[in-house]
Structure 1
Amino acid sequence: MLHTLRRVLTPLALARLAVGWLGVVVLALLSGPLTPPVPVLPLVLALAVIVGVILFASTGVVAQAEHLAHRLGDPYGSLVLTLSIVMIEVVLICAVMLGPGGHATIARDSVTAVAMIILNLVIGLCLLVGGIAHGDLRHRRTGVSSYLAMLVVLCTLAFALPPVVGEGGAFLPWQEIPVVAVTLGCYAFFLWRQTGAQAGDFMDVAPRVGATRVSSAPGSQLSGSQVSAGAAGAAVPAPASDDDDAATRPPLAAVLHEHRNELLSRLVVLVVTVLPVVLLSHDMATLLDDGLGRTGAPSAVAGVLIAAIVFLPESLTSLRAARNGEIQRVSNLCHGALVSTVGLTVPAVLVIGMITGQTVVLAESPVNLVLLGVTLALSVLTFGAPRVTAVHGMAHLVLFVAYGLAVFS
């Protein structure tokens, strides 16, 4: 057990814990001077420090989640990582809602920003980097299709339905309970299938050992030693199909039994590391509201900043996976994170609104609704293909630029 703790509590992990909790203590001592309105220089410095501490602590959460992901394997590992990140994002949004001032649209702005950042910026960069480094990349279309089907339904329920059946862009009080129930039920059913009967649809694509095909077409492109082998009609590895099994892994129950101490230790460290983020988020939300109010920035900017801060560590993880050619892992991280974000954030803010009496405006503007619809349609086209390419990535990046123009217009 001591050996396991030494492996889990590395100097960097201890540093993240120390910095996170030290930030909480310091801000508690400075609560008086940092009560809005705060002078510009102290406001900027305080926000910079808080954001830095949150990012540093968040990387600790992601690091522990990545170790769990490596030990458990996909889709369980990616699920642990995405739920850890989404938990931070939900906490930040809820902290803003419970802070001073009016934040009727913060959930809508944040979730839309998350959707556009993940589906266009992060996935676009991943496809571009992976496509340039490895050429066309294969994924499991059934699994990605499940993600996208969930996103189409949940985004429609959250953003397109309120202006039609609600009032003032918000659901009526009697409508909120069934929306919460349906959203959570749909997400729970998805998780049940993802981690159960359909787990194989979310595993990395791996070529079947021993599968071959003869390349004799006049236009076949072979390189190096394959040229001579191809000329003689030699067999070359066949591309994997959607039904190919991923690398063989031991059963989950066996992994849990064998590595029980390590998994429990990392889970405890993950929770203790995320707590400072939860506590610091309230202070960040208060100061951010004060700062944006002075600059006259669009209200959606707060949502974009929250999304960018929270998903930076996971974005870097996705880019590393793309650089290694692991496009299915990119999908599990990005699409899985977005499904969890919509499936958990919308019910959370609606419940907070019901408890506190706040109006939660979810209806999107026509421009953002069009951009979100086009993004989902492009995602279906991109991942509906047998292979994804760098060209697909560039198309997603262009849509993100369009979203940026809409936010600051």
Structure 2
Amino acid sequence: MIVRLRTLATQWTAVVPVIAIVLLVLTWGRDLPGVVVALVTLVLAGAVLSAVHHAEVVAHRVGEPFGSLVLAVAVTIIEVALIVTLMADGGDKGATLARDTVFAAVMITCNGIVGLSLLVASLRHRLAVFNAEGTGAALATVATLATLSLVLPTFTTSKPGPEFSTTQLTFAALSSLVLYGMFVATQTVRHRDYFLPVTRQGAVIDADEHAEIPSSGTTMISLGLLGLALVGVVGLAKGVSPTIESGVEAAGMPHAVVGVVIALLVLLPETIAALRSARRDRVQTSLNLALGSAMASIGLTIPAVAVASIWLSGPLVLGLSSTHMVLLALTVVVSSLTVVPGRATPLQGGVHLVLFAAYLELAINP
């Protein structure tokens, strides 16, 4: 009976990504009636769960930290493609799209996902235990990338407004790629053990608790279906964005809330995967997913929009407002204090979640 249920679940997760892609092709660029929006939302939720399933299959085959890296990079690459596509559509709203999306990703991952993971793990296992060396390196990289790409443009004087000059944008793009590449090399080769889950005694766990490692064929199929599911998630999220935008406007909220909602939808696979790892007392995997997604979002988005700015007209606003800079600075400080001990209680998880709630509140009521 258990085998049959597992087979059914595998078949379900294989069919949903295909349905998502078909529905995406049929609805792309069209005004959707309410019934179709409801159908798209249902398929979107299924695609998210399917993506998480296939990501876990791939992660179990390749091991940590490669598994979390695959999911983070896959989601970010598709997200970057969506950002560039939307920027190419033109309009004044495209000028701040990259900044708003990247900052939303940083706040969602560093406060929302991290906070939920720490809270779930500490409530279930009394303490959330992780590797301070690896998490600290990831946090330092995220903080540096965010400052170079999102804070400095507010203070530079080569161009009016919170914008980089061409030379400055080129430097920021190259720096992002170099830092991200160095981090991936550190995470996967030179100091891989820093990013593996640890026991409460500090011993590194270099094996998963699952009974059977999937075959190469199964892994490749899951990798392909993971790609389809993620394309479906991002594309369908874009498809329902006009409905989200109408609802936001009807509620009298700022347009930036639309970007936050879409970012939340796009990051759902990482969120669910991180929470599952936290429940299994694999907090380091959860932190790899969260901080890796934040890092990939900055490290891949900024170079992409730098290249896209060659043919795109209009300004490219990257500098954060003063309110957002305060939130970013507080996030870095609190995250540093969370990481140093290598273990966390529900209090630390609650602090991160309050910061995330503050970001949402200020997005709705700036």
Q: For the superposition of Structure 1 and Structure 2, which TM-score range results when normalised by the shorter chain?
A: 0.7 to 0.9
User: What's the counterpart of residue 111 of structure 1?
Assistant: 102
**Equivalent in 132, 151, 160 of residue 160 of structure 1:** 151
2:204 is the alignment partner of 1:245: yes
CA distance in 1, matches of 2:330, 2:140: 14
Contact 1:89 1:306 survives alignment (8 Å): no
Corresponding residue number in structure 2 for 1:406: 362
Picking from 337, 350, 356, the partner of 1:394 is 350
Say if 2:67 is the partner of 1:77.
yes
Q: 1:38-187 maps to which residues of 2 (within 5 A)?
A: 42=33, 45-99=35-89, 101-102=91-92, 103-165=94-156, 166-187=159-180
Compare 270-279 and 89-98 and name the one that shifted more: 270-279
* Structure number with higher helix proportion: 2
Q: Is the Cα contact below 8 Å between 1:96 and 1:286 reproduced in 2?
A: no
In structure 2, stretches of 5+ residues that fail to align are 1-5
Tell me if the contact between 1:8 and 1:265 (Cα under 8 Å) persists in the aligned partners. no
- Counterpart-to-counterpart distance in 1, 2:167 and 2:251: 37
**TM-score for the superposition, normalised by structure 1:** 0.78
- Equivalent-residue separation in structure 1 for 2:313 and 2:56 (angstroms): 38
For residue 190 of structure 2, give the secondary structure of its aligned residue in structure 1. coil
Contact (CA 8 Å) 1:173, 1:354: kept in 2 or not? no
- Measure the CA separation in 2 of the matches of 1:185 and 1:386: 27
Where 2:76 maps in the other structure, the secondary structure is helix
Aligned twin of 1:10: 10
CA deviations on 1:242-274 (whole Å, 9 max, x unpaired) are: xx332358xxxxx9xx94333322222223334
Paired with 1:117 and 1:175, the residues of 2 have a C-alpha distance of 27
Structure 1: which 5+ runs fail to align? 1-5, 207-238, 250-254
The structure-2 alpha-carbon separation of the partners of 1:275 and 1:400, relative to structure 1 and needing over 3 Å to count, comes to closer
Deviation string, structure 1 residues 174-227 (Cα, Å, up to 9, x no partner)? 322222111111111111121111111001113xxxxxxxxxxxxxxxxxxxxx
The residue number in structure 2 matching 1:21 is 21
Aligned match of 1:223: none
Aligned to 1:222: none
Task: Note the C-alpha offset of 1:291.
Answer: 6.0
Aligned to 1:355: 311
Residue 309 of structure 2 aligns to a residue in which SS?
Answer: helix
Determine the C-alpha separation between the residues in 2 that align with 1:45 and 1:97. 29
RMSD of aligned alpha carbons: 2.7
Larger of the two Rg values belongs to structure = 1
* Secondary structure of 1:399's aligned partner: helix
Partner of 1:235: none
Q: 1:268 to 1:7 in 2, by over 3 A?
A: farther
Post-superposition shift, 1:7?
7.0
Over the matched positions of the two proteins, sequence identity in percent amounts to: 32
Q: TM-score, normalised by structure 2?
A: 0.87
1:209-220 equivalence runs, <5 A: none
Distance 1:45 1:90 in 2: 29
Partner of 1:364: 320
Deviation at 1:378? 0.2
Change (3 A) 1:391 1:274: closer
**1:326 matches 2:316:** no
Contact 2:79–2:234 at 8 Å: present in 1 too? Answer: no
1:305 to 258, 261, 264: 261
CA distance in 1, matches of 2:79, 2:8: 25
Matched residues, number: 353
Give the equivalent residue in structure 1 for 2:3.
none
After superposition, the Cα gap between the structure-2 partners of 1:50 and 1:94, relative to the gap in structure 1 and judged at 3 Å, is: farther
The residue identity in structure 2 corresponding to 1:127 is: L
| Change over 3 Å in CA distance of 1:74–1:325 after alignment to 2 | same
Following superposition, the deviation at residue 286 of structure 1 comes to: 5.6
Q: Equivalents in 2 of 1:156, 1:76: separation in Å?
A: 26
Which amino acid is the alignment partner of residue 325 of structure 1? D
